[in-house]
Amino acid sequence: MTVPTPTAQADRFVHDRLPPNDQLPQMRYEWPELQFPPALNAVEELLDKAAAKGWNGRPMLRSSKIVLTYQDVRDRVDRICRVLVDDLGMAPGNRVLLRGGNSIGMALAWLAVVKAGGIAVATMPLLRARELGDIIDKAQPTLALCDAKLLDELELARKERPVLRVVVPFNAPNEPGSLAVRAAAKDGDFPPCPTAADDVALMAFTSGTTGKPKAAIHTHRDVMAACEAWPRHVLRATPEDIVVGSPPLAFTFGLGGLLVFPMWSGSSVYFPDAPYTPEAMVRTINEVGATICYTAPTFYRQMAPFAREHGVGKLRVSVSAGEGLPDATRQLWKQASGLEMLDGIGATEMFHIFISSAGAEVRRGAIGKAVPGYTAKVVDDAGNEVARGTIGKLAVIGPTGCKYLDDARQASYVKGGWNYPGDAFMQDADGYFFYQARADDMIITSGYNVGGPEVEDALLKHPAVQECGVIGKPDDERGMIVKAFCVLRAGHAGDPALAKELQEHVKAMIAPYKYPREIAFVSVLPRTETGKLQRFRLREL
């Protein structure tokens, strides 16, 4: 095969809007498994080459209605590729907006776009027309593949944006123009687009915990490098594993955990008919024999009572990411399920997890160590590494890195080739990393540094508290005070007596100066669609 040049994607819209060279992250590919050829198509590697590994007949995508083998998936993906290229005129490098929840249809659409050389722009299913419009303005897709049930908001966004010329529903089997009907009439065996390793595979929009979302770019090499890091060295899944989880495929945590990484290990994924509730997740784990679960800490906390009641069947790995994991939640889940949580921190900008530990490597209170392939350190404002045991800013370098599309915030994320995810950490003498807070969420009160997650963890250990969020509130005397917003369990009244009880509880758990001087009782906390707490919205209150 002729090795393609970096112009394999004829549409150069994204390549021309990548950060300047002096703002690009330094990429490190020091491990043998991170050496990739110049010609690389991630879907060819993960799907087409499954046959050579003996996985063709193994289940890959599951639902309550159907089980598709690796061969079945390849055949369906190839047929969709032919629709994209032959009928819809998609050219390599075109952005294709994908709108849908976690489903087999959404997974097939993503795989087909990337195999055919397009750039997948997956969007969260709950986004409204205004938010979708912002994404269309940024990504400039000419084509969208959309769950038939979610067309309304996309059509509203499309009215004022003629760049989006074609919208095709992907799961309407009785609609003549649907992707399913068109693909069924096509022949399979579509040759993968000969993309270069550094051609762009996807554009992932950040979940917006701190304001206006940004578009993070990842190449075919990035996708494969991510597979060779955390999944290989920490998760260690096998072809026998059945994976379930709640993170959306439009979120890189979900894309990796619920599609890309299972394909790398020959595992299968179960997609539910409707979004999970905590009880439904536990029931599904038992009914389908799931062995790996992905979700956020808050969801595990809500799942714990049902896990205690029903058990967790064959589940052997429970992965937590997306937000900080309070130790109270880790211990609650361990008591309910018998499983030690596999924690990790990643970022949309880095594609997936880069600090994590599993099994015997877990240390209480710590997220873990740098995943093989990555190097991490805790630094001061000047970028100098601080002494172990000192709080500072996290800096990471490895085989993936931040590449924003045409965004001035690139210069804040990448400095001197290192990625700065915006988290405050402490590293101990053994190399374990302890999460403190988002760097801009550190609370400085009377000269003391207080991490909101530490106070949240203490509050969650009180039996009255279901969920909580902690922020710093401006204060004339102390600079800031610690303020907590608490959602209570049923049967507890949010009155001054309970507030005082919670304050004394925190004082007994951690250093007394960290206790919340104000407590507000609320019915719900503001979260993103991926479950992340939006502290900036708490500050707005």
Residues β-bridged to residue 444: 449
Provide the CB-side half-sphere exposure for 331 (13 A, CA). 11
pLDDT at 211: 52
The full set of domains in the chain, from first to last, is 220-441 (3.40.50.12780), 442-540 (3.30.300.30)
Residue 185 near residue 74, CB atoms below 8 Å: no
What's the mean pLDDT when you consider all of the chain?
92
pLDDT tens for each residue of 251-308: 899 999 999 999 999 999 999 998 899 999 999 999 999 999 999 888 898 899 999 9
pLDDT at 398 over 90: yes
261 to 235, 242, 292: CA distances (angstroms): 10, 12, 12
Is the sign of the CA dihedral 262, 267, 271, 275 positive or negative?
negative
In three-state form (DSSP H/G/I as H, E/B as E, the rest C), the secondary structure along 37-98 is: CCECCHHHHHCHHHHHHCCCCCEEEECCCCEEEHHHHHHHHHHHHHHHHHHCCCCCCCEEEE
CA-CA distance, 51 to 78, in Å (whole number)?
A: 15
Task: Identify the pLDDT of residue 44.
Answer: 98
Cβ atoms of 370 and 431 closer than 8 Å: yes
Identify the residue with better confidence: 172 or 255: 255
Per-residue model confidence as pLDDT tens digits over 9-50: 789 999 999 999 999 999 999 999 999 999 999 999 999 999
Angle subtended at Cα 102 by Cα 70 and Cα 76, rounded to the nearest 5 degrees: 35
Supply the pLDDT for residue 126.
82
Lowest mean pLDDT among 85-94, 219-228, 297-306: 297-306
Q: Could you give the CA distance from residue 80 to residue 170 in angstroms, rounded to a whole number?
A: 10
Sequence-separated (6 or more) residues with CB below 8 Å from residue 153 = 127, 128, 129, 132
What confidence score (pLDDT) does residue 254 get? 94
Please indicate whether residue 247 or residue 287 has the higher confidence score (pLDDT). 287
The pLDDT value given to residue 447: 65
**Does the pLDDT value for residue 7 go beyond 80?**
no
- 321 vs 411, residue with greater confidence: 411
pLDDT at 3 over 60: no
Cβ atoms of 350 and 373 closer than 8 Å: no
Model pLDDT, residue 356: 95
Tokens read off for 3: 């090795």
Query: What pLDDT score was predicted for residue 130?
Result: 83
322-367, pLDDT tens digit by residue?
A: 777 888 889 999 999 999 999 999 999 999 999 999 888 888 889 9
- Band of pLDDT at residue 101, cut at 50, 70 and 90: very high
The reported pLDDT for the residue numbered 476 is 74
Candidate from 76-90, 375-389, 502-516 with smallest mean pLDDT: 502-516
3-state DSSP assignment of residue 150:
helix
3-state secondary structure of 128: coil
What the block records as the tokens of 95 is 């952005």
**Is residue 444 over pLDDT 80?**
no
Rounded to an integer, the average pLDDT of 113-137 is 92
Q: Identify the band that residue 1 occupies on the pLDDT scale cut at 50, 70 and 90.
A: very low
When mean pLDDT is compared across 82-91, 209-218, 302-311, 459-468, the lowest value belongs to 209-218
For residue 89, is pLDDT > 90? Answer: yes
* Mean pLDDT of the 199-211 span: 77
Higher-confidence position of 194 and 209: 194
